[in-house]
């Protein structure tokens, strides 16, 4: 949704093709533009979804529509959909957020076709680390692979707490294994005068962590909220935490810690707040210790507590880090800059 908004904002006529809404977090959402907080500057159209064969049917219909509509560029993050796009000779941009080595037999055959196709104009990856993995595993010319880290909209009307009182510390994101929620719980216990806010998570995960933090009165779990609401809550914080552990799991159960480019980091930067993040090699592609974030060893809970206290007590450092991160978003990592870089790579 954000990339569609950005592409349209750059002057490109943009259509998002999606399968019919299934069960999940969009159930009951009438206005997806408002839910994601995006402008209505692109169209959304729906195809079909059939259990077990859904992605193939959706991909084929999408590629056919693009072909007959005279689409200049077909942009997808699905390998199966990229296959149909290349098969029908659409000019294609294929973006991946994981190494292309996890597929089963049929999908490996489709992938081989996509990798050989001259219709893939650019392979987009989200980190230098992922580009390296892609080039090591496949015979792709490095010039065809663009690194485009995730991004964020640039928040407006940012205000920073210039007092050292009433500091709020927040986390926004999933509560899966490897997200460091136990780090936040220990920090809340160690700094009882500061309020900690955890935004996100499915009901089961929220229930689990609330049970494991019962009695901590300065810690609040909000559960899942819309992306728009999450952005609004981030603006109310003074310090934002990203305590990724050395193993970071996503919904599929895949560990992404070696190549990830977490959307959360860029949204934190765009909120104009001081960030404390785990010192994981891939995140140093974007974050620099004591310039646009404080970096801590993932499992060193004492270091996290000390870093939070340091930012609480050092207003100048807190404001300096938040300002540097915000400037980085404006000049390097906004969605509009990302969209422009992707399109420029094929011109």
CATH number for the domain spanning 240: value is 3.40.50.2000
pTM listed for this prediction: 0.91
**Total count of domains within the chain:** 2
Whether residue 126 sits in one domain with residue 267 = no
Residue 292 near residue 322, CB atoms below 8 Å: no
Give yes or no for residue 225 having a pLDDT over 80: yes
Give the range of the structural domain holding residue 100, as residue numbers without chain letter.
2-152+334-344
Write the DSSP string, 306-338.
HHHHHHHH-HHHHHHHHHHHHHHIIIIIBHHHH
Whether residue 102 sits in one domain with residue 185 = no
What the block records as the tokens of 14 is: 């943009």
- How confident is residue 256, by pLDDT bands cut at 50, 70 and 90? confident
Whether residue 229 sits in one domain with residue 134 = no
Whether residue 146 sits in one domain with residue 175 = no
More confident residue, 290 or 178: 290
Residue 152 near residue 333, CB atoms below 8 Å: yes
Whether residue 25 sits in one domain with residue 83 = yes
- Residue 173 has what DSSP assignment? S
Whether residue 175 sits in one domain with residue 145 = no
Residue 121: burial class (beta carbons within 10 Å; 0-12, 13-18, 19+) = middle
> Looking at residue 26, what is its pLDDT?
64
Whether residue 287 sits in one domain with residue 225 = yes
More confident residue, 199 or 176: 199
């Amino acid at each position: 949704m954000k990339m569609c908004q950005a592409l349209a904002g750059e002057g490109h006529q943009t259509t998002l093709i999606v399968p019919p809404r299934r069960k999940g977090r969009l159930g009951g959402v009438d206005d997806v533009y408002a839910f994601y907080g995006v402008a209505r500057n692109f169209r959304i159209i729906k195809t079909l979804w059939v259990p077990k064969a859904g992605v193939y049917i959706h991909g084929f219909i999408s590629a056919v529509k693009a072909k007959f509509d005279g689409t200049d560029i077909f942009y997808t993050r699905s390998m199966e959909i990229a296959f149909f796009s290349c098969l029908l000779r659409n000019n294609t941009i294929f973006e991946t957020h994981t190494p292309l080595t996890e597929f089963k037999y049929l999908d490996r055959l489709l992938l081989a076709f996509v990798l050989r196709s001259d219709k893939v104009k650019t392979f987009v990856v989200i980190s230098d680390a992922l580009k390296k993995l892609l080039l090591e595993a496949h015979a792709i010319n490095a010039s065809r692979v663009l690194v485009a880290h995730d991004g964020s909209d640039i928040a407006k009307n940012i205000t920073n707490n210039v007092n050292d009182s009433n500091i709020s510390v927040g986390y926004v994101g999933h509560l899966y294994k490897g997200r460091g929620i136990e780090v936040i719980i220990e920090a809340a216990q160690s700094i009882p005068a500061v309020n900690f806010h955890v935004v996100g998570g499915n009901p089961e995960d929220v229930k689990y962590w609330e049970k494991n933090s019962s009695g901590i009165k300065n810690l609040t779990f909000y559960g899942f909220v819309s992306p728009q609401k999450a952005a609004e809550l981030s603006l109310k914080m003074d310090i934002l935490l990203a305590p990724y552990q050395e193993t970071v799991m996503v919904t599929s159960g895949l560990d992404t810690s070696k190549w990830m480019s977490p959307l959360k980091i860029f949204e934190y930067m765009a909120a104009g707040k001081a960030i404390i993040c785990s010192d994981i090699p891939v995140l140093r592609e974007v974050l620099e210790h004591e310039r646009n974030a404080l970096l801590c060893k993932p499992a060193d809970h004492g270091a996290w507590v000390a870093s939070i206290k340091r930012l609480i007590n050092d207003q100048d450092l807190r404001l300096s880090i938040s300002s540097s991160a915000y400037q980085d978003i404006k000049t390097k990592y906004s969605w509009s800059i990302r969209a422009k870089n992707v399109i420029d790579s094929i011109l």
